[in-house]
């Protein structure tokens, strides 16, 4: 036991005395949350648009005011011809153009129907889609208001409720993703380097000639990073609740427990890489390609897994971040309890045990 404590103390000295690494470890979650929360969002706000209003009547005026006052759009300029639409798009100054034909109000009044054209810049398809949806919603809103006074036969009104995230904030799906990413980076990459570093510096030679058991060396390497990760988990949760205003709807305790479990998976994977490679560069490379990329691509955080081809869907099952992401999503955002996420929890626990056993087996008791 004294040996073990001494090993952990030594490991802490390594981490705490390397100020730069320390700074990265503790600063990264803050930077990522702020980046993803404010800068790298796929919500569209204040998109610049142009209007080509050929009828200039009370209806179009009302609609334009409505659109301009929403937080999604800013009307950049009023156009006077079709030709100008193309030109303005080419200049890249607008994302959407709204065209009202002549006699918009008259048509609405006399034929009960009028047309609006939405022209979007689909070189960025996601934004184009989002913008046309927003604009359509505003126009539908207006339509509802004016038809309310009259009785129309056979109308079906769709009423949509956005559950758990009524404002459709991007940060709701971003926080679980960032948690997975940060824990992965801190735990996998840092632990992957740690044993290899001892091999490179030659200190492993002395550790091996000592009576220390491999399991002690390995577990002692993981403990400090586990504690650091708990600090990081707390930072991320505090930031997301108080800065990004993402609520924790489920049990905080369960959330922390699941996060620690995921940390263990990452640690075990890092240790496995560390035990089976010979240089810090290779260890870093493997942890980046083997863990970080799948986490971003196949966890469902950036791209929905349901849309992937079947082979990728199957592969995504061995990506621990996929399970963790769905757990955090369920617990934090939807307020689910352990009775809902027990399956994912078991998968994570299983992966941890498997990786840990492998890394202890892989740990070499000799130099070659």
Partner 1 sequence: MKPVVVDHITKTYSSKKDKVTALNDISFEVEEGELFGIIGPDGAGKTSLFRIIATLLVQDSGKATVEGLDSVKDYKEIRNILGYMPGRFSLYQDLTVEENLNFFATIFNTTVNENYDLIKDIYSQIEPFKKRRAGKLSGGMKQKLALSCALIHKPSVLLLDEPTTGVDAVSRKEFWEMLKKLKQQGITILVSTPYMDEAGLCDRIALVQNGEVLSLDTPQGIIDSFENPLLAVRSNDMLKLLKRLKSARGVDDAYPFGEYHHVVLQKNYNKDDLSDYLVKEEPGTEIISAQPNIEDCFMNLMKN
Q: Is 208 in the site for partner 1 (CB under 8 A)?
A: yes
Whose Cβ is closer to partner 1: residue 201's or residue 238's?
201
Q: Is 24 in the site for partner 1 (CB under 8 A)?
A: no
Whose Cβ is closer to partner 1: residue 205's or residue 245's?
205
Determine which residue in the list 75, 207, 308, 340 makes contact with partner 1, applying CB under 8 A: 207
Determine which residue in the list 126, 205, 342, 343 makes contact with partner 1, applying CB under 8 A: 205
Whose Cβ is closer to partner 1: residue 19's or residue 71's?
19
Strand order in the sheet with 117-120: 73-78, 47-53, 96-100, 117-120
Whose Cβ is closer to partner 1: residue 2's or residue 83's?
2
Q: Is 334 in the site for partner 1 (CB under 8 A)?
A: no
**Min. distance of Cβ 20 from partner 1 in angstroms?**
13
Stretch that binds partner 1, among 9-17, 21-29, 56-64, 81-89 (CB under 8 A): 9-17
**Min. distance of Cβ 268 from partner 1 in angstroms?**
23
Q: Is 41 in the site for partner 1 (CB under 8 A)?
A: no
Nearest to 78 by CA among 92, 63, 88, 90: 88
Angle at 118 between CA 114 and CA 121, to 5 degrees: 170
Stretch that binds partner 1, among 157-165, 308-316, 322-330, 359-367 (CB under 8 A): 359-367
Q: By rule CB under 8 A, what count of residues binds partner 1?
A: 25
Q: Is 201 in the site for partner 1 (CB under 8 A)?
A: yes
Determine which residue in the list 210, 253, 309, 339 makes contact with partner 1, applying CB under 8 A: 210
Determine which residue in the list 168, 253, 310, 365 makes contact with partner 1, applying CB under 8 A: 365
Q: Is 211 in the site for partner 1 (CB under 8 A)?
A: yes
Whose Cβ is closer to partner 1: residue 175's or residue 220's?
220
Q: Is 19 in the site for partner 1 (CB under 8 A)?
A: no
């Amino acid at each position: 036991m004294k040996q073990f404590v001494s090993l952990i103390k030594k490991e802490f000295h390594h981490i705490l005395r390397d100020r730069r690494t320390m700074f990265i470890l503790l600063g990264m979650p803050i930077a990522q949350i702020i980046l993803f929360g404010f800068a790298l969002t796929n919500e569209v706000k204040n998109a610049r648009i142009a209007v080509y209003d050929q009828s200039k009547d009370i209806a179009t005026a009302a609609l334009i005011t409505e659109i301009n006052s929403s937080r999604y759009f800013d009307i950049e300029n009023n156009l006077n011809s079709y030709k100008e639409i193309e030109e303005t798009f080419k200049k890249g100054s607008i994302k959407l153009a709204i065209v009202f034909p002549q006699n918009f109000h008259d048509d609405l009044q006399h034929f009960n129907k009028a047309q609006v054209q939405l022209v979007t810049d689909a070189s960025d398809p996601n934004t184009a889609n989002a913008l046309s949806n927003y604009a359509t919603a505003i126009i539908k809103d207006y339509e509802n208001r004016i038809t309310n006074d009259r009785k129309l036969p056979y109308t079906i009104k769709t009423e949509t409720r956005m559950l758990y995230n009524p404002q459709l904030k991007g940060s709701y799906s971003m926080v679980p993703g960032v948690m997975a990413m940060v824990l992965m980076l801190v735990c996998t990459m840092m632990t992957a380097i740690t044993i290899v570093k001892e091999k490179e510096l030659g200190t492993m030679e002395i550790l091996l000639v000592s009576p220390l058991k491999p399991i002690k060396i390995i577990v002692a390497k993981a403990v400090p990073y586990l504690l650091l990760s708990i600090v990081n988990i707390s930072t991320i949760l505090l930031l997301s609740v108080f800065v990004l205003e993402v609520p924790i709807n489920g049990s905080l305790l369960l959330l922390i427990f699941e996060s620690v479990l995921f940390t263990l998976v990452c640690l075990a994977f890092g240790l496995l890489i560390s035990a089976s490679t010979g240089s810090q560069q290779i260890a870093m490379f493997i942890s980046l390609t083997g863990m970080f990329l799948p986490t971003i691509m196949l966890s469902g955080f950036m791209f929905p897994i349901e849309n992937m081809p079947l082979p990728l869907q199957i592969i995504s099952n061995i990506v621990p971040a996929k399970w963790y992401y769905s757990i955090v999503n369920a617990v934090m955002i939807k307020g689910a309890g352990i009775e809902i996420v027990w399956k994912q929890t078991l998968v994570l626990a299983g992966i941890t045990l498997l990786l840990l056993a492998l890394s202890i087996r892989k740990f070499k008791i000799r130099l070659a």
